[in-house]
Chains A and B, each alone.
Chain A
Amino acid sequence: MESQEIEVIKLLEENGRMNVEEIAEILALPKERVEEIIRKLEDEGVILKYKAIIDWEKVQEDFVYALINVKVSLTREKGYDDVAKRIAKFPEVHAVRLVSGEYDFQVVVKGKSLKDVAFFVAEKISTIPEVRDTVTHFVLRTYKEEGVNLFEDEEDRRLAFVP
Protein backbone atom coordinates (compact mmCIF):
# COMPACT_ATOMS: atom_id res chain seq x y z
CA MET A 1 0.00 0.00 0.00
CA GLU A 2 1.13 3.55 -0.71
CA SER A 3 2.75 5.45 2.12
CA GLN A 4 0.18 8.26 1.86
CA GLU A 5 -2.59 5.74 2.44
CA ILE A 6 -0.77 4.28 5.43
CA GLU A 7 -0.39 7.76 6.89
CA VAL A 8 -4.12 8.40 6.55
CA ILE A 9 -4.92 5.03 8.13
CA LYS A 10 -2.65 5.73 11.10
CA LEU A 11 -4.32 9.08 11.76
CA LEU A 12 -7.83 7.66 11.53
CA GLU A 13 -6.96 4.65 13.64
CA GLU A 14 -5.86 7.06 16.34
CA ASN A 15 -8.76 9.46 15.90
CA GLY A 16 -11.70 8.37 13.76
CA ARG A 17 -13.24 11.82 14.01
CA MET A 18 -10.35 13.72 12.48
CA ASN A 19 -11.80 15.58 9.52
CA VAL A 20 -10.54 15.66 5.97
CA GLU A 21 -9.24 19.20 6.24
CA GLU A 22 -7.12 18.45 9.29
CA ILE A 23 -5.73 15.30 7.76
CA ALA A 24 -4.80 17.26 4.65
CA GLU A 25 -3.01 19.90 6.72
CA ILE A 26 -1.17 17.39 8.86
CA LEU A 27 0.04 15.34 5.91
CA ALA A 28 0.60 18.36 3.67
CA LEU A 29 -1.67 16.86 1.00
CA PRO A 30 -4.47 18.46 -1.03
CA LYS A 31 -7.90 17.99 0.52
CA GLU A 32 -9.19 16.24 -2.60
CA ARG A 33 -6.41 13.68 -2.42
CA VAL A 34 -7.31 12.84 1.19
CA GLU A 35 -10.97 12.47 0.28
CA GLU A 36 -10.01 10.16 -2.55
CA ILE A 37 -7.82 8.03 -0.27
CA ILE A 38 -10.51 7.69 2.39
CA ARG A 39 -13.15 6.76 -0.16
CA LYS A 40 -10.85 4.11 -1.59
CA LEU A 41 -10.06 2.68 1.85
CA GLU A 42 -13.75 2.53 2.70
CA ASP A 43 -14.68 0.96 -0.63
CA GLU A 44 -12.00 -1.68 -0.32
CA GLY A 45 -13.10 -2.52 3.21
CA VAL A 46 -9.77 -1.49 4.72
CA ILE A 47 -11.60 0.94 6.96
CA LEU A 48 -14.50 -1.12 8.27
CA LYS A 49 -16.26 1.20 10.63
CA TYR A 50 -15.77 4.35 12.73
CA LYS A 51 -16.66 3.87 16.37
CA ALA A 52 -15.98 5.20 19.85
CA ILE A 53 -14.08 3.47 22.63
CA ILE A 54 -16.35 3.53 25.66
CA ASP A 55 -15.41 3.07 29.28
CA TRP A 56 -18.65 1.25 30.17
CA GLU A 57 -17.73 1.13 33.83
CA LYS A 58 -18.41 4.85 33.94
CA VAL A 59 -21.88 4.40 32.47
CA GLN A 60 -24.81 3.45 34.73
CA GLU A 61 -25.88 0.69 32.41
CA ASP A 62 -23.15 -1.81 33.03
CA PHE A 63 -22.39 -4.67 30.70
CA VAL A 64 -20.80 -7.97 31.43
CA TYR A 65 -17.99 -9.17 29.23
CA ALA A 66 -16.70 -12.72 29.23
CA LEU A 67 -13.77 -14.33 27.50
CA ILE A 68 -14.67 -17.82 26.42
CA ASN A 69 -12.08 -20.36 25.45
CA VAL A 70 -13.58 -22.76 22.97
CA LYS A 71 -12.15 -26.12 21.91
CA VAL A 72 -13.52 -27.66 18.75
CA SER A 73 -13.13 -30.92 16.86
CA LEU A 74 -12.95 -30.48 13.14
CA THR A 75 -14.28 -32.77 10.46
CA ARG A 76 -13.61 -32.99 6.72
CA GLU A 77 -16.77 -31.05 6.14
CA LYS A 78 -16.38 -28.42 8.85
CA GLY A 79 -13.17 -26.43 9.25
CA TYR A 80 -12.23 -23.55 11.57
CA ASP A 81 -13.82 -20.97 9.28
CA ASP A 82 -17.17 -22.68 9.33
CA VAL A 83 -17.30 -22.96 13.10
CA ALA A 84 -16.01 -19.42 13.58
CA LYS A 85 -18.69 -17.99 11.32
CA ARG A 86 -21.42 -19.85 13.19
CA ILE A 87 -20.22 -18.36 16.44
CA ALA A 88 -19.59 -14.87 15.06
CA LYS A 89 -23.09 -14.41 13.69
CA PHE A 90 -24.65 -14.12 17.15
CA PRO A 91 -25.05 -10.44 18.04
CA GLU A 92 -24.02 -11.24 21.62
CA VAL A 93 -20.58 -12.17 20.32
CA HIS A 94 -18.23 -9.22 20.39
CA ALA A 95 -15.12 -10.83 18.94
CA VAL A 96 -13.96 -14.20 17.67
CA ARG A 97 -10.31 -15.07 17.23
CA LEU A 98 -8.54 -18.29 16.27
CA VAL A 99 -5.61 -18.62 18.65
CA SER A 100 -2.63 -20.89 19.19
CA GLY A 101 -2.28 -22.95 22.36
CA GLU A 102 -4.53 -25.14 24.42
CA TYR A 103 -7.80 -24.11 22.88
CA ASP A 104 -8.89 -23.01 19.43
CA PHE A 105 -11.08 -19.91 19.62
CA GLN A 106 -11.17 -17.02 21.97
CA VAL A 107 -14.66 -15.60 21.94
CA VAL A 108 -15.63 -12.34 23.63
CA VAL A 109 -19.29 -12.25 24.65
CA LYS A 110 -21.14 -9.19 25.82
CA GLY A 111 -24.28 -9.55 27.93
CA LYS A 112 -26.46 -7.76 30.45
CA SER A 113 -25.71 -10.05 33.40
CA LEU A 114 -23.55 -13.00 34.41
CA LYS A 115 -26.58 -15.24 34.07
CA ASP A 116 -27.29 -13.89 30.62
CA VAL A 117 -23.81 -14.67 29.39
CA ALA A 118 -23.65 -18.07 31.10
CA PHE A 119 -26.92 -19.16 29.52
CA PHE A 120 -25.90 -17.84 26.15
CA VAL A 121 -22.73 -19.92 26.23
CA ALA A 122 -24.52 -22.99 27.46
CA GLU A 123 -27.36 -22.76 24.98
CA LYS A 124 -25.78 -21.32 21.87
CA ILE A 125 -22.08 -22.06 21.85
CA SER A 126 -21.71 -25.36 23.70
CA THR A 127 -24.45 -26.86 21.62
CA ILE A 128 -22.69 -26.35 18.30
CA PRO A 129 -21.81 -29.93 17.26
CA GLU A 130 -18.11 -29.23 16.66
CA VAL A 131 -17.61 -27.55 20.05
CA ARG A 132 -16.00 -29.96 22.49
CA ASP A 133 -15.40 -27.78 25.50
CA THR A 134 -15.76 -24.21 26.76
CA VAL A 135 -14.22 -22.31 29.66
CA THR A 136 -15.78 -18.97 30.61
CA HIS A 137 -13.84 -16.11 32.25
CA PHE A 138 -15.83 -13.08 33.31
CA VAL A 139 -14.08 -9.75 32.98
CA LEU A 140 -13.94 -7.97 36.33
CA ARG A 141 -12.22 -4.78 35.29
CA THR A 142 -10.67 -3.42 32.11
CA TYR A 143 -7.47 -1.41 32.41
CA LYS A 144 -6.65 -0.85 28.77
CA GLU A 145 -8.87 -1.04 25.72
CA GLU A 146 -7.76 -0.69 22.10
CA GLY A 147 -4.49 0.90 23.16
CA VAL A 148 -6.20 3.40 25.45
CA ASN A 149 -5.44 3.35 29.17
CA LEU A 150 -8.67 3.43 31.16
CA PHE A 151 -6.99 4.88 34.22
CA GLU A 152 -6.06 8.47 34.85
CA ASP A 153 -3.27 9.67 32.63
CA GLU A 154 -0.12 11.28 34.00
CA GLU A 155 -0.45 15.02 34.24
CA ASP A 156 1.77 17.45 32.38
CA ARG A 157 4.23 18.65 34.99
CA ARG A 158 6.38 20.79 32.71
CA LEU A 159 7.15 24.42 33.50
CA ALA A 160 5.29 26.97 31.38
CA PHE A 161 8.51 28.37 29.92
CA VAL A 162 11.67 26.50 29.07
CA PRO A 163 14.21 28.13 26.77
Chain B
Amino acid sequence: MKKTGGLPLSRRVAKKVEELKPSGIRRFFDLVAGRDDVISLGVGEPDFPVPWRIREEMIYSLEKGFTSYTSNLGLPELREGIAEYYTRFGVRALPEQILITTGVSEGVDLAVRTLIEQGDVALVPEPCYVSYKPLVEICGGEVVTIPTVPDFKLTYEVLVEYADTKAKILVLNYPANPTGVSYSKKELEEIADAVNEMDMVVLSDEIYAELTYTGRHVSIASLNGMEDKVVVLNGFSKAFAMTGMRVGYVIAPPDILTGMLKIHQYCMLCAPITGQIGAIEALKSLDEVDRMRAEYMRRRNFVVKKLSEVFELRKPEGAFYAFPKISSSGMSSEEFAEGLLMKKNVAVVPGNAFGECGEGYIRMAYAVKFEKLKEAIERIIEFVDEYGKG
Protein backbone atom coordinates (compact mmCIF):
# COMPACT_ATOMS: atom_id res chain seq x y z
CA MET B 1 0.00 0.00 0.00
CA LYS B 2 1.29 3.39 -0.92
CA LYS B 3 1.85 5.82 1.87
CA THR B 4 -0.28 8.90 1.45
CA GLY B 5 2.09 11.24 3.19
CA GLY B 6 0.86 14.07 5.36
CA LEU B 7 1.09 14.28 9.11
CA PRO B 8 1.48 11.33 11.44
CA LEU B 9 -1.79 10.27 13.07
CA SER B 10 -0.78 11.71 16.39
CA ARG B 11 -0.79 15.19 14.88
CA ARG B 12 -3.96 15.04 12.83
CA VAL B 13 -6.13 16.78 15.39
CA ALA B 14 -5.45 20.48 15.80
CA LYS B 15 -3.34 21.32 18.81
CA LYS B 16 -5.91 23.67 20.30
CA VAL B 17 -8.53 20.95 20.15
CA GLU B 18 -6.13 18.32 21.42
CA GLU B 19 -5.45 20.53 24.42
CA LEU B 20 -9.11 21.02 25.35
CA LYS B 21 -10.03 19.31 28.58
CA PRO B 22 -12.72 16.66 28.12
CA SER B 23 -15.94 17.30 30.01
CA GLY B 24 -15.73 16.34 33.68
CA ILE B 25 -18.96 14.40 33.61
CA ARG B 26 -18.05 11.98 30.77
CA ARG B 27 -16.81 9.45 33.32
CA PHE B 28 -20.15 9.44 35.10
CA PHE B 29 -21.97 8.37 31.95
CA ASP B 30 -20.03 5.12 32.08
CA LEU B 31 -20.76 4.68 35.77
CA VAL B 32 -24.49 5.17 35.35
CA ALA B 33 -24.79 2.89 32.32
CA GLY B 34 -26.54 -0.37 33.12
CA ARG B 35 -27.74 0.65 36.57
CA ASP B 36 -31.44 0.36 37.28
CA ASP B 37 -33.54 2.47 39.59
CA VAL B 38 -31.25 5.47 39.29
CA ILE B 39 -32.87 8.79 40.12
CA SER B 40 -30.95 11.37 38.17
CA LEU B 41 -30.58 14.86 39.56
CA GLY B 42 -27.78 15.28 37.05
CA VAL B 43 -29.92 16.48 34.18
CA GLY B 44 -29.74 20.12 33.19
CA GLU B 45 -33.00 20.10 31.31
CA PRO B 46 -36.69 20.29 32.21
CA ASP B 47 -38.53 17.10 33.11
CA PHE B 48 -41.59 18.42 31.29
CA PRO B 49 -42.02 17.47 27.66
CA VAL B 50 -42.59 20.24 25.11
CA PRO B 51 -46.08 21.63 25.91
CA TRP B 52 -48.62 19.91 23.70
CA ARG B 53 -49.92 22.99 21.91
CA ILE B 54 -46.37 23.76 20.78
CA ARG B 55 -45.89 20.19 19.62
CA GLU B 56 -49.18 20.32 17.70
CA GLU B 57 -47.97 23.40 15.79
CA MET B 58 -44.76 21.61 14.89
CA ILE B 59 -46.67 18.50 13.76
CA TYR B 60 -48.98 20.61 11.58
CA SER B 61 -46.01 22.43 10.10
CA LEU B 62 -44.48 19.13 9.02
CA GLU B 63 -47.78 18.02 7.51
CA LYS B 64 -47.98 21.26 5.57
CA GLY B 65 -44.46 20.79 4.27
CA PHE B 66 -42.53 23.44 6.21
CA THR B 67 -39.26 21.56 5.90
CA SER B 68 -36.95 23.98 4.10
CA TYR B 69 -34.19 26.32 5.24
CA THR B 70 -35.29 29.63 6.65
CA SER B 71 -33.41 32.89 6.09
CA ASN B 72 -30.08 32.99 7.92
CA LEU B 73 -31.50 35.35 10.48
CA GLY B 74 -34.50 33.15 11.20
CA LEU B 75 -38.25 33.43 10.58
CA PRO B 76 -39.35 37.11 10.62
CA GLU B 77 -42.43 36.33 12.69
CA LEU B 78 -40.27 34.73 15.36
CA ARG B 79 -37.81 37.63 15.44
CA GLU B 80 -40.65 40.12 15.76
CA GLY B 81 -42.17 38.00 18.50
CA ILE B 82 -38.91 37.91 20.43
CA ALA B 83 -38.42 41.68 20.10
CA GLU B 84 -41.79 42.18 21.73
CA TYR B 85 -41.33 39.41 24.27
CA TYR B 86 -37.98 40.71 25.51
CA THR B 87 -39.51 43.99 26.63
CA ARG B 88 -40.65 42.00 29.68
CA PHE B 89 -36.99 41.93 30.74
CA GLY B 90 -36.61 45.63 30.02
CA VAL B 91 -34.91 45.42 26.61
CA ARG B 92 -36.26 47.34 23.62
CA ALA B 93 -34.70 45.71 20.59
CA LEU B 94 -35.58 45.88 16.92
CA PRO B 95 -36.21 42.61 15.08
CA GLU B 96 -33.13 43.55 12.98
CA GLN B 97 -30.98 43.13 16.08
CA ILE B 98 -32.12 39.55 16.58
CA LEU B 99 -30.57 36.41 15.16
CA ILE B 100 -32.09 32.97 15.67
CA THR B 101 -29.45 30.39 16.58
CA THR B 102 -29.35 26.64 17.02
CA GLY B 103 -29.68 26.80 20.77
CA VAL B 104 -27.84 29.20 23.06
CA SER B 105 -24.77 27.01 22.60
CA GLU B 106 -24.39 28.27 19.05
CA GLY B 107 -25.06 31.82 20.20
CA VAL B 108 -22.21 31.66 22.72
CA ASP B 109 -19.90 30.21 20.09
CA LEU B 110 -20.79 32.91 17.54
CA ALA B 111 -20.38 35.71 20.05
CA VAL B 112 -17.01 34.44 21.24
CA ARG B 113 -15.73 33.89 17.72
CA THR B 114 -16.89 37.36 16.69
CA LEU B 115 -15.23 39.11 19.61
CA ILE B 116 -12.17 37.09 20.60
CA GLU B 117 -8.95 36.80 18.70
CA GLN B 118 -5.51 35.50 19.61
CA GLY B 119 -4.47 36.77 23.01
CA ASP B 120 -7.75 38.49 23.95
CA VAL B 121 -8.88 37.95 27.51
CA ALA B 122 -12.31 36.78 28.62
CA LEU B 123 -13.41 37.06 32.24
CA VAL B 124 -15.45 34.07 33.32
CA PRO B 125 -16.87 33.90 36.85
CA GLU B 126 -16.79 30.38 38.24
CA PRO B 127 -18.46 28.00 38.98
CA CYS B 128 -20.13 28.27 35.59
CA TYR B 129 -21.59 26.37 32.70
CA VAL B 130 -19.02 24.19 30.99
CA SER B 131 -18.83 25.62 27.47
CA TYR B 132 -17.64 29.23 27.89
CA LYS B 133 -14.04 28.43 28.64
CA PRO B 134 -13.33 25.92 25.84
CA LEU B 135 -15.03 28.11 23.23
CA VAL B 136 -12.77 31.04 24.15
CA GLU B 137 -9.70 28.82 24.11
CA ILE B 138 -10.48 27.42 20.65
CA CYS B 139 -10.35 31.01 19.40
CA GLY B 140 -6.92 31.48 20.90
CA GLY B 141 -8.27 33.67 23.67
CA GLU B 142 -7.22 33.52 27.27
CA VAL B 143 -9.72 32.82 30.01
CA VAL B 144 -9.26 34.48 33.37
CA THR B 145 -11.61 32.87 35.83
CA ILE B 146 -13.09 34.75 38.75
CA PRO B 147 -13.78 32.43 41.67
CA THR B 148 -17.02 33.51 43.34
CA VAL B 149 -17.20 31.06 46.23
CA PRO B 150 -19.07 31.13 48.62
CA ASP B 151 -21.67 33.73 47.52
CA PHE B 152 -21.36 32.95 43.82
CA LYS B 153 -21.96 36.61 43.02
CA LEU B 154 -20.00 39.17 41.08
CA THR B 155 -19.78 42.63 42.55
CA TYR B 156 -18.23 45.92 41.45
CA GLU B 157 -15.38 45.44 43.92
CA VAL B 158 -14.57 41.95 42.71
CA LEU B 159 -14.70 42.92 39.04
CA VAL B 160 -12.44 45.97 39.21
CA GLU B 161 -9.74 43.82 40.79
CA TYR B 162 -9.46 42.27 37.35
CA ALA B 163 -9.01 45.58 35.51
CA ASP B 164 -5.37 44.76 34.84
CA THR B 165 -6.32 41.82 32.67
CA LYS B 166 -7.58 44.31 30.05
CA ALA B 167 -10.32 41.79 29.39
CA LYS B 168 -12.38 42.26 26.26
CA ILE B 169 -15.43 40.30 27.33
CA LEU B 170 -17.19 39.32 30.52
CA VAL B 171 -19.36 36.23 30.49
CA LEU B 172 -22.36 36.59 32.74
CA ASN B 173 -24.94 33.87 33.29
CA TYR B 174 -27.91 34.51 35.53
CA PRO B 175 -29.96 32.88 36.90
CA ALA B 176 -26.89 30.70 36.92
CA ASN B 177 -26.14 27.13 36.10
CA PRO B 178 -24.95 25.48 38.41
CA THR B 179 -25.65 27.75 41.42
CA GLY B 180 -29.12 29.19 40.78
CA VAL B 181 -27.80 32.63 41.71
CA SER B 182 -29.33 35.70 40.10
CA TYR B 183 -28.99 39.47 40.35
CA SER B 184 -31.31 42.31 41.24
CA LYS B 185 -31.39 45.48 39.15
CA LYS B 186 -29.31 47.28 41.76
CA GLU B 187 -26.63 44.60 41.75
CA LEU B 188 -26.57 44.65 37.95
CA GLU B 189 -26.09 48.41 37.96
CA GLU B 190 -22.93 47.91 40.01
CA ILE B 191 -21.67 45.31 37.59
CA ALA B 192 -22.52 47.66 34.71
CA ASP B 193 -20.42 50.41 36.33
CA ALA B 194 -17.42 48.11 36.40
CA VAL B 195 -18.09 46.97 32.83
CA ASN B 196 -18.13 50.60 31.69
CA GLU B 197 -14.93 51.44 33.53
CA MET B 198 -13.19 48.38 32.15
CA ASP B 199 -14.70 48.86 28.69
CA MET B 200 -15.79 45.26 28.15
CA VAL B 201 -18.54 43.58 26.15
CA VAL B 202 -20.86 41.45 28.26
CA LEU B 203 -22.07 38.10 26.98
CA SER B 204 -25.21 37.78 29.04
CA ASP B 205 -26.49 34.21 29.00
CA GLU B 206 -30.07 34.61 30.19
CA ILE B 207 -31.40 31.17 29.27
CA TYR B 208 -32.94 30.73 32.75
CA ALA B 209 -34.50 34.23 32.81
CA GLU B 210 -38.07 32.92 32.97
CA LEU B 211 -37.20 30.64 35.85
CA THR B 212 -36.66 33.44 38.35
CA TYR B 213 -38.42 33.00 41.70
CA THR B 214 -37.69 36.36 43.26
CA GLY B 215 -39.52 38.93 41.20
CA ARG B 216 -38.88 39.42 37.52
CA HIS B 217 -35.58 38.90 35.71
CA VAL B 218 -33.84 42.12 34.62
CA SER B 219 -31.57 41.97 31.58
CA ILE B 220 -28.31 43.82 32.00
CA ALA B 221 -28.85 45.07 28.44
CA SER B 222 -31.78 47.13 29.74
CA LEU B 223 -29.59 49.32 31.95
CA ASN B 224 -28.62 52.83 30.95
CA GLY B 225 -25.58 52.93 28.72
CA MET B 226 -25.42 49.17 28.33
CA GLU B 227 -27.45 48.70 25.14
CA ASP B 228 -24.30 48.95 23.02
CA LYS B 229 -22.19 46.72 25.28
CA VAL B 230 -24.26 43.61 25.78
CA VAL B 231 -24.87 40.50 23.70
CA VAL B 232 -28.00 38.90 25.11
CA LEU B 233 -28.16 35.13 24.67
CA ASN B 234 -31.39 33.31 25.29
CA GLY B 235 -33.54 30.54 23.89
CA PHE B 236 -36.51 28.25 24.28
CA SER B 237 -34.86 25.21 25.86
CA LYS B 238 -35.41 25.79 29.55
CA ALA B 239 -38.43 28.03 29.98
CA PHE B 240 -40.48 26.24 27.33
CA ALA B 241 -38.92 22.80 27.85
CA MET B 242 -37.81 22.69 24.21
CA THR B 243 -34.21 21.48 24.64
CA GLY B 244 -34.17 19.05 21.74
CA MET B 245 -35.72 21.56 19.34
CA ARG B 246 -32.51 23.61 19.41
CA VAL B 247 -33.80 27.15 19.17
CA GLY B 248 -31.92 30.03 20.70
CA TYR B 249 -31.53 33.70 19.88
CA VAL B 250 -29.16 36.58 20.20
CA ILE B 251 -29.88 40.26 20.72
CA ALA B 252 -26.74 42.20 19.90
CA PRO B 253 -25.46 45.64 18.89
CA PRO B 254 -25.49 45.96 15.06
CA ASP B 255 -21.73 45.56 14.44
CA ILE B 256 -21.49 42.46 16.61
CA LEU B 257 -24.66 40.98 15.15
CA THR B 258 -23.31 41.46 11.62
CA GLY B 259 -20.17 39.57 12.58
CA MET B 260 -22.13 36.77 14.22
CA LEU B 261 -24.43 36.48 11.23
CA LYS B 262 -21.43 35.99 8.93
CA ILE B 263 -20.19 33.01 10.94
CA HIS B 264 -23.70 31.65 11.41
CA GLN B 265 -24.43 31.65 7.68
CA TYR B 266 -21.31 29.61 6.99
CA CYS B 267 -21.41 27.16 9.89
CA MET B 268 -25.12 26.73 10.54
CA LEU B 269 -27.07 28.39 7.76
CA CYS B 270 -30.19 28.56 9.90
CA ALA B 271 -31.77 27.11 13.01
CA PRO B 272 -34.10 24.13 12.39
CA ILE B 273 -37.38 25.36 10.91
CA THR B 274 -39.57 22.99 12.93
CA GLY B 275 -38.16 24.33 16.16
CA GLN B 276 -38.57 27.91 14.97
CA ILE B 277 -42.24 27.29 14.21
CA GLY B 278 -42.65 25.72 17.64
CA ALA B 279 -40.96 28.79 19.14
CA ILE B 280 -43.49 31.14 17.52
CA GLU B 281 -46.25 29.17 19.23
CA ALA B 282 -44.24 29.09 22.47
CA LEU B 283 -44.33 32.88 22.66
CA LYS B 284 -48.13 32.61 22.62
CA SER B 285 -48.03 30.02 25.41
CA LEU B 286 -46.60 31.98 28.31
CA ASP B 287 -49.17 30.46 30.66
CA GLU B 288 -47.35 27.15 30.17
CA VAL B 289 -44.20 28.83 31.49
CA ASP B 290 -46.10 30.12 34.51
CA ARG B 291 -47.31 26.61 35.25
CA MET B 292 -43.83 25.09 35.04
CA ARG B 293 -42.20 27.93 36.98
CA ALA B 294 -44.69 27.45 39.80
CA GLU B 295 -43.83 23.77 39.95
CA TYR B 296 -40.06 24.40 39.97
CA MET B 297 -40.49 26.95 42.71
CA ARG B 298 -42.36 24.48 44.90
CA ARG B 299 -39.58 21.96 44.40
CA ARG B 300 -36.95 24.58 45.14
CA ASN B 301 -38.55 25.43 48.47
CA PHE B 302 -38.73 21.76 49.36
CA VAL B 303 -35.10 21.09 48.38
CA VAL B 304 -33.80 24.13 50.23
CA LYS B 305 -35.68 23.17 53.39
CA LYS B 306 -34.53 19.56 53.36
CA LEU B 307 -30.94 20.09 52.27
CA SER B 308 -30.29 23.00 54.60
CA GLU B 309 -30.68 20.55 57.47
CA VAL B 310 -27.66 18.61 56.19
CA PHE B 311 -25.52 20.98 54.12
CA GLU B 312 -24.57 24.59 53.80
CA LEU B 313 -26.76 25.79 50.95
CA ARG B 314 -27.31 29.17 49.36
CA LYS B 315 -30.97 29.59 48.45
CA PRO B 316 -31.19 29.65 44.66
CA GLU B 317 -33.05 32.60 43.15
CA GLY B 318 -33.64 30.94 39.81
CA ALA B 319 -32.94 28.11 37.34
CA PHE B 320 -33.57 24.56 38.62
CA TYR B 321 -30.35 23.83 40.45
CA ALA B 322 -29.25 23.65 44.05
CA PHE B 323 -25.51 23.78 44.73
CA PRO B 324 -24.94 22.52 48.28
CA LYS B 325 -21.55 22.42 49.92
CA ILE B 326 -20.83 18.78 50.69
CA SER B 327 -17.25 19.05 51.96
CA SER B 328 -18.51 18.60 55.54
CA SER B 329 -19.02 14.93 54.58
CA GLY B 330 -15.24 14.57 54.36
CA MET B 331 -15.51 13.67 50.69
CA SER B 332 -14.42 15.48 47.57
CA SER B 333 -17.04 16.42 44.98
CA GLU B 334 -16.19 13.46 42.79
CA GLU B 335 -16.00 10.99 45.67
CA PHE B 336 -19.38 12.19 46.86
CA ALA B 337 -21.03 12.01 43.44
CA GLU B 338 -19.53 8.60 42.68
CA GLY B 339 -20.36 7.17 46.10
CA LEU B 340 -23.91 8.48 45.96
CA LEU B 341 -24.41 6.87 42.58
CA MET B 342 -22.86 3.53 43.51
CA LYS B 343 -24.40 3.21 46.98
CA LYS B 344 -27.73 4.97 46.63
CA ASN B 345 -28.44 5.19 42.90
CA VAL B 346 -28.76 8.95 42.86
CA ALA B 347 -26.92 10.83 40.13
CA VAL B 348 -25.61 14.35 40.76
CA VAL B 349 -22.87 16.34 39.07
CA PRO B 350 -19.68 17.02 41.05
CA GLY B 351 -19.16 20.77 41.55
CA ASN B 352 -15.65 20.78 40.14
CA ALA B 353 -17.13 20.03 36.69
CA PHE B 354 -18.06 23.73 36.72
CA GLY B 355 -14.62 25.06 37.59
CA GLU B 356 -11.96 24.42 40.19
CA CYS B 357 -13.64 26.52 42.85
CA GLY B 358 -16.70 24.26 42.59
CA GLU B 359 -14.71 21.63 44.47
CA GLY B 360 -16.50 20.70 47.67
CA TYR B 361 -19.93 21.22 46.11
CA ILE B 362 -22.37 19.17 44.05
CA ARG B 363 -25.02 20.29 41.60
CA MET B 364 -28.48 18.86 42.02
CA ALA B 365 -31.07 19.57 39.36
CA TYR B 366 -34.60 19.58 40.73
CA ALA B 367 -36.05 19.06 37.28
CA VAL B 368 -37.62 15.76 38.32
CA LYS B 369 -41.11 14.83 39.44
CA PHE B 370 -41.79 15.69 43.05
CA GLU B 371 -42.15 12.08 44.24
CA LYS B 372 -38.77 11.20 42.77
CA LEU B 373 -37.17 14.31 44.17
CA LYS B 374 -38.44 13.38 47.63
CA GLU B 375 -37.04 9.89 47.32
CA ALA B 376 -33.68 11.18 46.02
CA ILE B 377 -33.28 13.57 48.93
CA GLU B 378 -34.05 10.81 51.41
CA ARG B 379 -31.36 8.71 49.78
CA ILE B 380 -28.85 11.58 49.89
CA ILE B 381 -29.48 12.10 53.58
CA GLU B 382 -29.07 8.35 54.19
CA PHE B 383 -25.83 8.42 52.22
CA VAL B 384 -24.41 11.23 54.32
CA ASP B 385 -25.48 9.45 57.53
CA GLU B 386 -23.89 6.19 56.49
CA TYR B 387 -20.76 7.29 54.69
CA GLY B 388 -20.06 10.87 55.73
CA LYS B 389 -17.63 11.55 58.55
CA GLY B 390 -19.14 12.37 61.91
Please list the residues of chain A having a beta carbon within 8 angstroms of any beta carbon in chain B. 10-11, 22, 25-28, 154, 156, 158-163
Contact = CB atoms under 8 A, between A and B. Distances in A.
A161 B29 contact: yes
Interface of B: 23, 25, 28-29, 32, 38, 40, 42-45, 47, 49, 129-131, 177, 294, 298-299, 301-302, 305-306, 347, 349, 353-354, 374
Contact of A161 (B47, B177, B305, B349): B349
Nearest to B25: A161
Report the 7 A-B pairs with minimum CB-CB distance, sorted nearest first: A162-B44, A161-B42, A26-B298, A25-B305, A160-B32, A163-B130, A160-B40
Contacts of B25: 161, 163
A4 to B, nearest CB: 13
A99 B25 CA distance: 57
A22 B44 CA distance: 25
A80 B303 CA distance: 50
A118 to B, nearest CB: 37
14 contacts: A25-B301, A26-B298, A26-B301, A154-B49, A158-B40, A160-B43, A161-B25, A161-B29, A161-B42, A161-B347, A162-B43, A163-B130, A163-B349, A163-B354
B270 to A, nearest CB: 25
B23 A163 contact: yes
Given A154-B49, A156-B47, A161 B32 contact: yes
B32 A27 contact: no
Given A25-B305, A154-B49, A159 B298 contact: no
B337 to A, nearest CB: 10
B321 to A, nearest CB: 11
A11 B294 CA distance: 11
Contacts of B49: 154
Contact of A158 (B45, B130, B299, B306): B45
A22 B306 CA distance: 10
A44 B342 CA distance: 50
Nearest to B47: A156
Contacts of B47: 156, 158
Contact of B38 (A25, A160, A162, A163): A160
Given A154-B49, A160-B347, A163-B25, A27 B298 contact: yes
Contacts of B42: 160-162
Contacts of B38: 160
Contacts of A156: 47
Interface-central residue, B45, B298, B301, by most chain A CB under 10 Å? B298
Contacts of A27: 298, 301
Contacts of B131: 163
A161 B364 CA distance: 11
A154 to B, nearest CB: 6
B43 A22 contact: no
Nearest to A11: B298
Contacts of B301: 25-28
Nearest to B303: A25
Interface-central residue, A22, A28, A158, by most chain B CB under 10 Å? A158
Nearest to B28: A161
Interface-central residue, A11, A26, A154, A161, by most chain B CB under 10 Å? A161
A94 B347 CA distance: 46
Given A160-B43, A161-B43, A163-B25, A26 B302 contact: yes
A8 B124 CA distance: 41
Contacts of A159: 29, 43
B194 to A, nearest CB: 28
Nearest to B301: A28
Contacts of B353: 163
